[in-house]
Amino acid sequence: MGKAQKAVQWDPTDIKQKLLEKYPPKVARKRAKQILINEAQENTTPEITANVRTIPGIITMRGCTYAGCKGVIMGPTSDIVNLVHGPIGCSFYAWLTRRNQSDASGHENANFINYCMSTDMQDSDIIFGGEKKLELAIQEAYDTFHPKAIAIFATCPVGLIGDDIHAVARKMKEKFGDCNVFAFSCEGYKGVSQSAGHHIANNQVFTHLVGKSEQEKTDKYKINLLGEYNIGGDGFEIDRILKKCGITNIATFSGNSTYDQFASANQADLSCVMCHRSINYVADMLETKYGIPWIKVNFIGAEATAKSLRKIGAYFADQELVDKIEEVIAEEMPSVKAICEDVLPRTTGKTAMLFVGGSRAHHYQELFSEMGMKTLSAGYEFAHRDDYEGREVIPNLKVDADSRNIEEIEVSADPELFKPRKSEEELKALEKSGFEFKEYEGLIPDMDKDTLIIDDLNQYEAEKLVELLKPDIFCAGIKEKFSIQKLGIPMKQLHSYDSGGPYAGFKGAINFYQEIDRLVTSKVWSYMKAPWEENPELSATYVWE
Amino acid sequence: MLLRHTPKEVTERKALTINPAKTCQPIGAMYAALGIKGCLPHSHGSQGCCAYHRSTLTRHYKEPISAATSSFTEGASVFGGQANLLQAINNIFTVYEPEVIAVHTTCLSETIGDDLPQIFDKAIKEKKVPEGKTVLGAPTPSYVGSHVTGFSNMVKAMAALARKSENRNGKVNIIPGWVEPCDMEEIKRLAAMMDVKINMFPDTSGVLNGPLNGEYHMFPDGGTPIEDIKSSGDASGTLALGEWCSADAARTLDSKCKVPCSVLDMPFGLQATDRFIDALRKIAGTSVAEEVSAERGQLVDMISDMHQYFYHKKVAIFGDPDQLISMVEFLVAIDMCPIHIVTGTPGKKFERRIKEITKDVPYEVNVKAAGDMFLLHQWIKNEPVDLLIGNTYGKYMARDEDIPFIRWGFPILDRQGHQYFPTVGYKGGIRMLEKILGVLLDRMDRDNPEEKFELVY
């Protein structure tokens, strides 16, 4: 890699071309459609290609369907035994590696988060089938832990040899009587990214858990928080703020979640969607089946948090709640502002790049802009077009072969549990006042003209981008961390937050300001070259002369 | 309590593994492949495997781990992965320009039966492999053995590249096994001190402990050049360190190129290092350098100084078989009592070796090859220990049971420095003793009542 050249010398077309020039023609053609120069046009959003296959041999940031299902969605649930049916590795790698925290430290709830369970399939199981072993493993898990529920996850070879995990789950559920057993066909090869796994997980949670609680929730302002995984304690901070406002979070999907939370989700009066990608369809299903409207929220960034709280207040349209929310915002903001003002002189004018998840690369731009930092380039690891372009493109999305084998479930109004939360008139009035239900505009409209939006960024392009545009900070995952840092650019993990967090809500904003301040002002980045490398020529004069 | 559902009573489990002390083959193959100079490891299967292996290795070594994947979707899983691998080989050589691609399989490509040598032939015929570049492959089904097996299989695939010419090159092959890059450096240092010319593979030093200087090189200067691996058939002998990690490769060299081999234990601790140095001396026909003997003497000196704190202290330890065998021997040598020992990697031979090493330990010794950390924890609950040694995941047990804990082995995700400070050789032994004494005395300082809190130990 050559020496960095200053960003201003390049226009985005040049940069795009530089990213593509080394690829074989077929690869270049494909990648060209996933790299978009943001040209804001009159009322239209440019089209990007997303949710397509990863190119073999190109070092990708993506993971697999199993990772999305077990790791992301079900991983953070504390009182469900997660049993992986497959060779040992799949279960091992998803063992405590996402930093989703759980506060089941009291003794009333079970907490299986710290356990890693697997059928540890051996070659004989592959040859003769693994159903018997799975059945016995479920029995042993039940005998050892007596959990409320056992979730079974399929890995690649399970799908190939055709073990019927769902039949085994049904059989064991019937046998136990007091333990809900269900399974996920989340083999790693399905779909094109983690996204397929989120879908498979959510559908099963919706089918096997939601609506199953007998306990009635009688709180006044009840919401669900969808797409919040409590990485580094984000969910704790959001819950703190909600509680302070007098809002009850019935269920978080799925940070710090419990069986009962999922089972009671149908009792909320509003669903608030954080990560659009991983869960927007669940919000739709909750509305169709139970009559719960949904809105998009964002608790990343202090302003965004305030805005989201006000949105919730407006929905419930209760002056008492609206006033309380304003009071909380007024109480929290001064300390946030104080820290922000402290860091601003050092962060203003700095630049960032964000390549994470399926909403994070969007949400974190709020925090950066609060610090006066501009996002030069961003994109998602496993998003679909609607995450970039907005939900209006959903009806036009092509269903390709890889999407077709991800189950879609049809839901209709529940004969007993469906209950419209607002009358038609109330909804209309809200919409008329500018309130948006079921709306997400996506990443593209929020980014500046001429910024680069790149889907499924890979290591080669990441390195090129950094070399050409020299951002002050780069945000991605652990796999990208050290190759970027070797280039002398600080890298912040926005999947697992390195060791930091929370970054959501008001306290989270403060943490983030301080963390980014630390990263972009760290002296270490000035040590890249030794004095003798900066100035290697020796002259004939000695220093003491 | 973090693991509060772990009952004290041990019941036999036939199908359920809880908290494994091992992981799967491909990650070992990936690590081994990084020890070849200019090599890009490639995972033939769905992309999640590669992502997981890269993440875990990155978290352990705190270094970039580059590796490619065939990115199987459902189609490839049904029709076979040949098209994906051919495309991958072409893309990799075009975009990243490695010298070598080291392909390993996954449970997915193994189950559908993809034939790597056949696909490589096709890639070569279709000119997807540029002149002078190498593609090698190892079968690493995840449902056989463990990560150690995968490491061994990839090293064996390297040895299979060896050829024999007319001339012996006078070098000694050293196959170091799965140790840290700094351990490999230490082995090279010891050999250099003894003036023995060695050819070591794999060698991740210089690859996975690189400097930070504002430049990123996907292929750093370290690693064993592929030519050296190929010429290992001309060596005068091979020392394979570790039966599980290295013996298969050494025996491949022996049967293919008639290079005599000797399988030793990994040189952790006093006696295993003694045997290594002695073997090196004999095979190279040289005498042991005085500096090496002096280092040995320093280690013995430390053992004598520290002995009072170690004597008859009970230890639980888990990790990989080759590492455990030498470390358990070392613990016994300093009069500690390793009493609960688990490696996830199967093999009855392991249990026999450990039983033999611990036969004079004055406690009942629990050992299980195909065991897990859940079982180890239960043993500890029944017979508490003074020290726990193992990878990062041990910290949950250590906290629950309030046991001094030393991180050693793979993976270490929550501490740093292990990639720089060797634990092999006499110097490594000294470091290990320092760590053990540190945690034991920290515990005394924490727990002693004020009147027993002392300045001098």
Q: Nearest by CB to A114, which of B13, B77, B396?
A: B396
Average pLDDT, chain A: 94
Is the pLDDT score of B413 beyond 60?
yes
Q: What is the distance between the alpha carbons of residues A358 and A361, in angstroms, rounded to a whole number?
A: 7
Q: Which residues of A fall within a CB distance of 8 Å from B150? A: none
Count CB-CB contacts under 10 A for residue A37: 15
- Is residue A299 within 8 Å of A308, Cβ to Cβ? yes
A173 to chain B, closest Cα gap in Å: 17
Q: Nearest by CB to B48, which of A63, A479, A529?
A: A63
Q: What is the distance between the alpha carbons of residues A89 and A118, in angstroms, rounded to a whole number?
A: 9
Q: What is the distance between the alpha carbons of residues A9 and A153, in angstroms, rounded to a whole number?
A: 50
Find, among A230, A246, A114, the residue nearest to A238 by Cα.
A230
Strand partners, A351: A374
Q: Which of A29, A59, A70 to probe by mutation at the B interface, max B CB count within 10 Å? A: A59
Q: What is the distance between the alpha carbons of residues A131 and A125, in angstroms, rounded to a whole number?
A: 8
Is A98 an annotated catalytic residue? yes
Question: Which residues, 6+ apart, have CB-to-CB distance to A395 below 8 Å?
Answer: none
Find, among A430, A504, A45, A37, the residue nearest to A275 by Cα.
A504
Strand, helix or coil at A119?
A: coil
Strand partners, A153: A84, A184
Q: What is the distance between the alpha carbons of residues A366 and A372, in angstroms, rounded to a whole number?
A: 10
Q: Which residues of B fall within a CB distance of 8 Å from A477? A: 55
Tokens of B362: 């004055």
DSSP B99: S
CA dihedral in degrees (B54, B60, B61, B62; nearest 10)?
80
What average pLDDT score do residues A153-180 get?
Answer: 98
Q: For A533, name the nearest residue in chain B, comparing CA atoms only.
A: B213
Find, among A296, A275, A293, the residue nearest to A284 by Cα.
A293
Q: Do the chains contact at B67 and A59, CB–CB below 8 Å?
A: yes
Q: With 0-12 CB in 10 A as exposed, 13-18 as middle and 19+ as buried, what is B364?
A: exposed
Question: Which residues, 6+ apart, have CB-to-CB distance to A331 below 8 Å?
Answer: none
**pLDDT recorded at residue A105:** 75
What average pLDDT score do residues A469-482 get?
Answer: 97
Is the pLDDT score of B126 beyond 70?
yes
How does pLDDT run across A23-63, given as a tens digit for each residue? 999 999 999 999 999 985 555 678 999 999 999 999 999 99
A443 to chain B, closest Cα gap in Å: 25
Q: Which residues of B fall within a CB distance of 8 Å from A482? A: 58, 62-64
Q: Do the chains contact at A63 and B52, CB–CB below 8 Å?
A: yes
Confidence of residue A108 (pLDDT cuts 50, 70, 90): confident
Catalytic residue among A50, A62, A67, A304: A67
Q: With 0-12 CB in 10 A as exposed, 13-18 as middle and 19+ as buried, what is B6?
A: buried
**pLDDT recorded at residue A4:** 45
Q: Which regions of B353-441 does DSSP assign to beta strands (E)?
A: 366-368, 387-390, 405-407
More confident residue, A82 or A533: A82
How does pLDDT run across A291-315, given as a tens digit for each residue? 999 999 999 999 999 999 999 999 9
Q: Do the chains contact at A189 and B76, CB–CB below 8 Å?
A: yes
In one-letter notation, the amino acid at residue A51 is N
**pLDDT recorded at residue A404:** 86
For the four alpha carbons of B253, B259, B260 and B266, in that order, the dihedral sign comes to negative
Q: Which of B25, B47, B416 to probe by mutation at the A interface, max A CB count within 10 Å? A: B47
Q: What is the distance between the alpha carbons of residues B42 and B55, in angstroms, rounded to a whole number?
A: 15
What average pLDDT score do residues A123-141 get?
Answer: 98
Q: Which residues of A fall within a CB distance of 8 Å from B377? A: none
Q: Which of A58, A88, A111 to probe by mutation at the B interface, max B CB count within 10 Å? A: A88
Q: For B107, name the nearest residue in chain A, comparing CA atoms only.
A: A157
Average pLDDT, chain B: 97
Q: Which residues of B fall within a CB distance of 8 Å from A94? A: 52
Is A67 an annotated catalytic residue? yes
Q: Which residues of B fall within a CB distance of 8 Å from A529? A: 213-214
Q: Do the chains contact at A136 and B15, CB–CB below 8 Å?
A: yes
Q: What is the distance between the alpha carbons of residues B447 and A114, in angstroms, rounded to a whole number?
A: 27
**pLDDT recorded at residue A540:** 60
How does pLDDT run across B108-124, given as a tens digit for each residue? 999 999 999 999 999 99
DSSP B277: H
The interface predicted TM-score (ipTM) is: 0.97
Q: What is the distance between the alpha carbons of residues B275 and A474, in angstroms, rounded to a whole number?
A: 49
Is A276 an annotated catalytic residue? no
Q: Do the chains contact at B68 and A59, CB–CB below 8 Å?
A: yes
**What DSSP string describes A370-415?**
HTT-EEEEEE-SS--HHHHH-GGGGGG----HHHHTS--------T
A350 to chain B, closest Cα gap in Å: 19
For the four alpha carbons of B159, B165, B166 and B172, in that order, the dihedral sign comes to negative
Give the A:B interface size as CB pairs under 8 Å.
268
Cα A269 to Cα A224, A255, A440, B387: the distances in Å are 8, 20, 20, 53
Tokens of A291: 């009559």
How does pLDDT run across A336-382, given as a tens digit for each residue? 999 999 999 999 999 999 999 989 999 999 999 999 999 999 999 99
Strand partners, B137: B103
Pinpoint the alpha helices (H) of A94-245.
Answer: 123-128, 131-145, 156-161, 165-176, 194-208, 234-245
Q: Which of B9, B11, B18 to probe by mutation at the A interface, max A CB count within 10 Å? A: B18
**pLDDT recorded at residue A2:** 39
Share of chain A above pLDDT 90, in %: 90
Q: Do the chains contact at A401 and B75, CB–CB below 8 Å?
A: yes
Q: Is the peptide bond prior to B202 cis by the omega test (within 30 degrees of 0)?
A: yes
How does pLDDT run across A419-469, given as a tens digit for each residue? 999 999 999 999 999 999 999 999 999 999 999 999 999 999 999 999 999
Q: What is the largest CA-CA distance in chain A?
A: 95
Q: Nearest by CB to A156, which of B45, B52, B71?
A: B45
Q: What is the distance between the alpha carbons of residues A149 and A164, in angstroms, rounded to a whole number?
A: 19
Strand partners, A251: A224
Catalytic residue among A31, A62, A64, A169: A64
Pinpoint the alpha helices (H) of B116-167.
Answer: 116-125, 147-159
Share of chain A above pLDDT 70, in %: 96
Q: Do the chains contact at B146 and A88, CB–CB below 8 Å?
A: yes
A455 to chain B, closest Cα gap in Å: 16
Write phi, then psi, for A443 (nearest 5 degrees): -75, -40
Q: Do the chains contact at A115 and B5, CB–CB below 8 Å?
A: yes
Q: Which residues of A fall within a CB distance of 8 Å from B3? A: 114-115
Tokens of B437: 């004494």
Q: Which helix (H) or strand (E) holds B276?
A: helix B269-284
B431 to chain A, closest Cα gap in Å: 27
Q: With 0-12 CB in 10 A as exposed, 13-18 as middle and 19+ as buried, what is A413?
A: middle
What average pLDDT score do residues B69-79 get?
Answer: 93
Strands A452-454 and A35-37: antiparallel
Q: With 0-12 CB in 10 A as exposed, 13-18 as middle and 19+ as buried, what is A49?
A: middle
Q: Which residues of A fall within a CB distance of 8 Å from B147? A: 89
Tokens of A213: 């609680």
Rounded (10°) angle between helices B82-95 and B116-125: 50
Tokens of A380: 């998602």
Q: What is the distance between the alpha carbons of residues A188 and A211, in angstroms, rounded to a whole number?
A: 29
**pLDDT recorded at residue A1:** 38
Q: Which residues of B fall within a CB distance of 8 Å from A168? A: none
Q: Which residues of B fall within a CB distance of 8 Å from A62? A: 47, 51
Is the pLDDT score of A325 beyond 60?
yes
Helices (H) and strands (E) in chain A, counts: 22, 14
Write phi, then psi, for A354 (nearest 5 degrees): -130, 120
DSSP A470: -
Q: Nearest by CB to B16, which of A111, A141, A459?
A: A141
A408 to chain B, closest Cα gap in Å: 17
Strand, helix or coil at B158?
A: helix
Find, among A279, A262, A282, A230, the residue nearest to A148 by Cα.
A262
Question: Which residues, 6+ apart, have CB-to-CB distance to A465 below 8 Å?
Answer: A15, A19, A353, A377, A452, A454, A457, A471
**pLDDT recorded at residue B183:** 98
Q: Do the chains contact at B71 and A161, CB–CB below 8 Å?
A: no
Pinpoint the alpha helices (H) of A265-400.
Answer: 276-290, 302-316, 319-347, 360-370, 385-389
Q: Nearest by CB to A479, which of B58, B73, B147?
A: B58
Return the residue matching tokens 């962060």: A347
Q: What is the distance between the alpha carbons of residues B139 and B103, in angstroms, rounded to a whole number?
A: 9
What average pLDDT score do residues A100-116 get?
Answer: 88
Q: Hey, what long-range contacts does B335-339 have (CB within 8 A, 24 or more apart)?
A: B335/B307, B335/B310, B335/B311, B336/B310, B336/B311, B336/B312, B336/B387, B336/B436, B337/B312, B337/B313, B337/B361, B337/B362, B337/B363, B338/B365, B339/B314, B339/B315, B339/B363, B339/B364, B339/B365, B339/B366, B339/B383, B339/B385
Tokens of A251: 């269920």
Is A361 an annotated catalytic residue? no
Q: Which of B10, B12, B14, B16 to probe by mutation at the A interface, max A CB count within 10 Å? A: B16
How does pLDDT run across B225-255, given as a tens digit for each residue? 999 999 999 999 999 999 999 999 999 999 9
Question: Which residues, 6+ apart, have CB-to-CB distance to A172 below 8 Å?
Answer: A135, A138, A139, A142, A150, A179, A181
Is the pLDDT score of A489 beyond 80?
yes
For the four alpha carbons of B434, B435, B439 and B445, in that order, the dihedral sign comes to positive
Strand, helix or coil at A305?
A: helix
**pLDDT recorded at residue A3:** 42
Cα A195 to Cα A66, A152, A191, B67, B373: the distances in Å are 10, 19, 8, 22, 32
Q: What is the distance between the alpha carbons of residues B175 and B200, in angstroms, rounded to a whole number?
A: 6
Confidence of residue A536 (pLDDT cuts 50, 70, 90): confident
**pLDDT recorded at residue A539:** 62
